[in-house]
Amino acid sequence: MAEAGSLPTGFGELEVLAVGVVLLVEALTGLSLNSLTIFSFCTSPELRTPSHLLVLSLALADSGVSLNALAAATASLLRRWPYGSGGCQAHGFQGFAAALASICGSAAVAWGRYHHYCTRSRLAWRTAASLVLFVWLSSAFWAALPLLGWGHYDYEPLGTCCSLGYARGSRNFTSFLFLMAFFNFLLPLFITFTSYRLMEQKLGRTRPPQVNTTLPARTLLLGWGPYALLHLCAALAGTALIPPRLQVVPALIAKMVPTVNAVNYALGSGIWQRLSLQQPRTQGLEM
């Protein structure tokens, strides 16, 4: 953690400022677009469907990721973490829970779209609500484990952001990392990829689905994959060979995911159009 008035080890003044500005832009953009999705859902009765409930849950999770980025941006611009060790633990828990809810929420939306397009039956409210509840309870459960001693939250190399600590590379961290990554990254990625792949195969080229079937899986892989790779390298080989500047990059990439998700899911589903006088097509409103 950087002390007040000093720079973190391995970083220059311009680099710290650049990280803070990038985080601020990502946070404000993600918050604005996902808030628009939430506002659309609350003000448009036509959007209050089980399918759109999954998209709303994802928007709430991505808003949480953006709020976490906003706190990190503020600390980066101040060049220090102003919230103390307790604030670091709270920041780590909130950011980790929101990130897991975003990842698993994307998988839930993918399964919901597969259900809609491939079974041609409406998604029930009970099913959608159960999915949303499971996503948030599971995310909170895994995010709480580091607070209870399995894994831990710590400052990232810049010293102005707190996340799942990986610098120690202990057996405790390694066991937590592999189980958490399987259930909260690899499995959601598999569900997302498989759901859209089955949609393409079932519908074929004659009736292509009115959603993007390639971007969601790519967003998960490219957005959260660098974070997973960083933690894997830290667990297997430690962080001595990874420059501090490089360790910051995965966080900056991951904070872009809320913006990409908002554009893909909300715009692609016709949600934002409900704020204008345009009437989306019925097929777009269903998913």
Element spanning 78, H or E: helix 50-78
Residues with Cβ within 8 Å of residue 238, at least 6 apart in sequence: 169
CA distances from 226 to 4, 33, 99 (A): 30, 24, 14
Three-state secondary structure string covering 242-283 = CCHHHHHHHHHHHCCHHHHHHHHHHHHCCCHHHHCCCCCCHH
Q: How far apart, in whole angstroms, are the C-alpha atoms of residue 126 and residue 2?
A: 48
pLDDT at 254: 95
pLDDT of res. 41: 86
Helix axes 187-203, 84-119, angle to 10 degrees: 20
Tell me, yes or no, whether 148 lies in a domain: yes
12 falls within a domain:
no
Q: Domain for residue 273, yes or no?
A: yes
pLDDT digits (tens, 9 = 90+) for 7-17: 666 678 888 89
Evaluate whether residue 17 is within a structural domain: no
- State the pLDDT at residue 275: 55
CATH number of the domain enclosing 84: 1.20.1070.10
**Considering the domain boundaries, does residue 29 fall inside one?**
no
Q: What is the pLDDT of residue 32?
A: 94
Residue 117 has a pLDDT of 83
Per DSSP, the three-state class of 49 is coil
Residue 150 within a domain:
yes
**Inside any domain, residue 23:** no
Q: Are 14 and 251 in contact (CB under 8 A)?
A: no
CA 73/CA 82 separation, integer angstroms: 12
Give the separation between CA 276 and CA 280, rounded to whole angstroms.
10
Q: For each of the chain's 287 residues, which pLDDT tens digit applies? A: 555 556 666 678 888 899 999 999 999 999 999 999 898 888 888 888 898 899 999 999 999 999 999 999 999 998 889 999 999 999 999 999 999 999 999 999 999 999 988 887 888 999 999 999 999 999 999 999 999 999 999 998 888 889 998 876 678 888 999 999 999 999 999 999 999 999 888 877 666 677 888 999 999 999 999 999 998 888 888 777 888 889 999 999 999 999 999 998 877 666 666 555 444 444 444 44
Under 8 Å between Cβ of 50 and 280: no
**Alpha-carbon distance 3 to 51, whole Å?**
47
In a domain, 8, yes or no: no
Q: How many domains does the chain have?
A: 1
pLDDT in tens, 81-107: 999 999 999 999 999 999 999 999 999
φ, ψ at 164 (rounded to 5°): -60, 120
pLDDT score, position 269: 60
The boundaries of the domain holding residue 85 are 35-286
